[in-house]
Structure 1
Amino acid sequence: MLDSLVTSKTRIKLLLKFFSHANSGYLRSLAKEFDESTNSVRVELNRLTEAGLLVSQDEGKTKMYKANEGHPFFNEIKNMVSKFLGLDDLMERIVKRMGKVDKAYIVGDYAKGIDSGTVQMILIGKELDKEYLEFIKEKTYEKVQRKVDVSILDTDPGDIQGILVYGK
């Protein structure tokens, strides 16, 4: 979907990085992460900044970029990126059908804004439907071509680093 609207693959990577959740980055680290030239990343960072979608801030000699949360289309772009990644639908289905889910976290690459092809999740709850979990993992791969790796915990250890997508 995004690739039909946005023709630059580098721009898509930047949109995924900055709008999948609150994330920041600087030119060289982004170029290394995306395995792209610094020039191609710089051009797209400049375009997105000029459009007001990104903001930059100097931190010493380094210019840090992040999504402009004050942009009128911030929420719409964030929702589009989420739908592109298939995370919103995936999380909603899993939480509704798994049983007594207390909390659900997305961790790993997706929590960092990297589309690696594997979505890592942690579900916290008791008496969860593990049979349904296997079914939804297969269906998710068929629909969005991403592997789902889920860990289930009975209680919240309290130190999970990621995106809390559901919690009581």
Structure 2
Amino acid sequence: MLDTLITSKTRIKLLTKFFLNPQAKAYLRGLEGTFGKSSNAVRIELNRFEHAGLLNASTEGNRKVYTANTNHPLYPDIHNILCKHLGIDQIINEVTTKLGKIEQVWLSGEFAKGNDCTSIELILVGSAIDCDYLKQLKEKASRLISRTIQLTLFTPEIFAKMKNEIKPTDIFLLWEFRSTHDAL
């Protein structure tokens, strides 16, 4: 669907790279290799996004490094469109409303790094999770979005210990439970 609205495949890949995970950073040659496109094609799109204020650029050594401008007024909208395009919003809705005591849902793997792929990897943090029902939801959601879904379950205690060892660009928090007391 997104490829109907945005005809440039390079542009879609850049949006996915930078707007799915706000921690994503990349430079021209790295993107050229990842996307399998010429450096000129990638450079043109990077310049367009930078000129529009969607990307920030900084210099690290002799490299110009790009990151998403999370302060841009369109950032939340673009992020939400990508989540809907990839089916992540549907997965989260199914999982968090019917599964048990889910505290957090994290995106990991290639999508967390901003790379499009056929498999969505999610980390579920919680307790009292109905594993049989989870398997049914996973299969249903997988058919619904036409992508395979890989799930990893952790208790909050174990995930808290492991999280410090994971690079921020390798995971991205998609959803977190907030009680009514937290909002006050």
TM-score, L = length of structure 2? 0.84
Tell me the residue number matched to 1:80.
Answer: 81
CA shift digits 1:137-164 (9 cap, x unpaired) = 2222222221111122234322233122
The one-letter amino acid of 1:91's match is I
d(CA) in 1 for partners of 2:15, 2:99:
31
Structure 1 30/100 Cα, relative in aligned 2: closer, same or farther at 3 Å? same
Instruction: Give the partner amino acid of 1:151.
Output: T
The change in CA–CA distance for 1:122 and 1:41 in structure 2 (over 3 A counts) is same
Q: Which amino acid aligns with 2:82?
A: V
For residues 8 and 175 of structure 2, the distance between their equivalents in structure 1, rounded to whole angstroms, comes to 33
3-state DSSP of counterpart to 2:157:
coil
List runs of 5+ in structure 2 lacking aligned partners.
178-184
1:165 Cα deviation from its structure 2 partner? 2.6
Instruction: Tell me the residue number matched to 2:4.
Output: 4
Count, aligned residues: 168
- Runs of 4+ aligned residues of structure 1 deviating over 6 Å after TM superposition are none
Instruction: State the Cα distance separating 1:37 from its structure 2 match.
Output: 1.6
Distance, in Å, in 1 between the alignment partners of 2:9 and 2:174 is 27
Give the Å deviation of 1:80: 0.8
For residue 127 of structure 1, report the CA deviation from its aligned partner. 2.3
Moved more, 20-29 or 84-93: 84-93
% identical aligned pairs: 39
Structure 2 counterparts to residues 60-75 of structure 1, below 5 A: 60-75=61-76
1:69–1:127 distance in 2 versus 1, CA, 3 Å: closer
The answer on whether the counterparts of 1:104 and 1:165 sit within 8 Å (CA) in structure 2 is yes
What SS is found at the alignment partner of 1:109? helix
Find the aligned partners of 1:153 and 1:70 in 2 and give their Cα distance: 32
Between 126-135 and 58-67, report the one with greater CA deviation: 126-135
1:72-113 deviations in whole A, cap 9, x for unaligned? 211111111111111122112101111111332221112111
Distance in 2, Cα, partners of 1:91 & 1:129: 15
Identify unmatched segments of 5+ residues in structure 1.
Answer: none
Match of 1:166 in 2: 175
Contact 1:19 1:67 in 2 (8 A): yes
Equivalent position SS for 1:71? coil
